[in-house]
C-alpha cells in the first residue's frame, strides 16, 4: 500500500526561523522590566508600584496578580491576611468600618 500524500499541500505554512532582535524583546512579555533596565540612566533598576506608579520601597507583592506595591498601596485581606493591591482588593463598607477582601475571600463572603 503506498504512502498517502500530505493533505495540506500548498496551504501548510512554512516553518521558518524567526530572528528575535532587541525591538521584539523590548515589546514582548517582559517589556516593562526590560525598558527599565535599559533606559534607566543611573543604572539602578527602580520598580514602579502597579497602583500609583510611585517607586516601590519594599518587596510587597500582591498575592493575587503578583504586581509590585509601595507601602501606601498595600492592603491586607480581612479574611486570610494576604496582601492585595487596589485592583484585586474589594473594599466592603457595609459595617461601621471598611474591610478589604482579596478575590479569593470575596467569593466566600457573597
Tens of pLDDT, residue by residue over 32-89, are: 766 665 555 565 566 788 778 788 877 888 888 888 888 888 889 988 999 988 888 8
- Grid look-up 466592603 returns 92
Write the Ramachandran bin of 78: left for phi over 0, alpha for psi from -120 to 50, otherwise beta.
alpha
Please determine, for residue 14, whether its predicted confidence score (pLDDT) is greater than 80: no
The residue count of the chain comes to 110
Determine the Cα–Cα distance for residues 103 and 87; give it in Å rounded to an integer.
10
Predicted local distance difference test score (pLDDT) of residue 8: 67
Q: How confident is the model at residue 103 (pLDDT cuts 50, 70, 90)?
A: confident
The alpha carbon of 8 is separated from its chain's Cα centroid by a whole number of angstroms, namely: 39
pLDDT of residue 27: 73
Q: What is the pLDDT of residue 5?
A: 72
**61 or 97, higher pLDDT:** 61
User: What is d(CA 32, CA 53) in angstroms, rounded to the nearest whole number?
Assistant: 13
Residue 59, pLDDT score: 83
Largest CA distance in the chain: 81
57 Cα distance to chain centroid: 18
Amino acid at each position: 500500500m503506498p504512502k498517502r500524500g500530505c493533505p495540506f499541500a500548498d496551504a501548510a505554512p512554512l516553518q521558518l526561523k524567526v530572528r528575535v532582535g532587541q525591538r521584539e524583546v523590548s515589546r514582548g512579555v517582559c517589556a516593562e522590566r526590560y525598558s527599565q533596565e535599559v533606559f534607566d540612566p543611573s543604572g539602578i533598576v527602580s520598580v514602579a508600584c502597579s497602583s500609583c506608579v510611585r517607586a516601590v520601597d519594599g518587596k510587597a507583592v500582591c498575592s493575587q496578580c503578583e504586581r509590585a506595591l509601595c507601602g501606601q498601596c498595600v492592603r491586607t485581606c480581612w479574611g486570610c491576611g494576604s496582601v492585595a493591591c487596589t485592583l484585586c482588593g474589594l473594599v466592603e463598607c457595609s459595617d461601621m468600618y471598611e474591610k478589604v477582601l482579596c478575590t479569593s475571600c470575596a467569593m466566600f463572603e457573597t
